[in-house]
Amino acid sequence: MQQPLQVTFHNLPHSDALEEEIRARVAKLELIHDRLHGCRVVVDSPHRTPEARGKTYAVRIEMQVPGAEIVVSREPVGEWRLALNEAFDVAKRRLREHAERQRPG
């Protein structure tokens, strides 16, 4: 990547283990799209609402590729690993789709 990965935690304390997990997943994204210029990942624990019971987690991924910015934002869920899995699964799919559209011919 041309720009360093940015990992931000919002409404929850920083976790070295979670950041390392994110860095490993972003490295896999770079294998899917070799022209990934930058990536920002925000892990949020939104404020509780009357409908939500307990803590929830949301993950937002912003990826810069030539000619586009791909943004993945998922609804909050009750487990951080599930939030991470869902967001990165969508990110992989969108990067693959973008790479396919960019291929000549």
What is the tens place of the pLDDT at every residue in 19-42?
Answer: 999 999 999 999 988 889 999 999
**CA 55 to each of CA 12, 47, 89: distance values in angstroms, whole numbers, following the listed order:** 10, 8, 22
Say what the pLDDT of residue 20 is.
97
pTM of the model: 0.90
User: So what's the pLDDT on residue 34?
Assistant: 83
Segments in the chain below pLDDT 70: 48-53, 105
CA-CA-CA-CA torsion for 77, 86, 17, 39, nearest 10 degrees?
-120
Are the beta carbons of 98 and 70 closer than 8 angstroms?
yes
Q: What's the pLDDT at 67?
A: 86
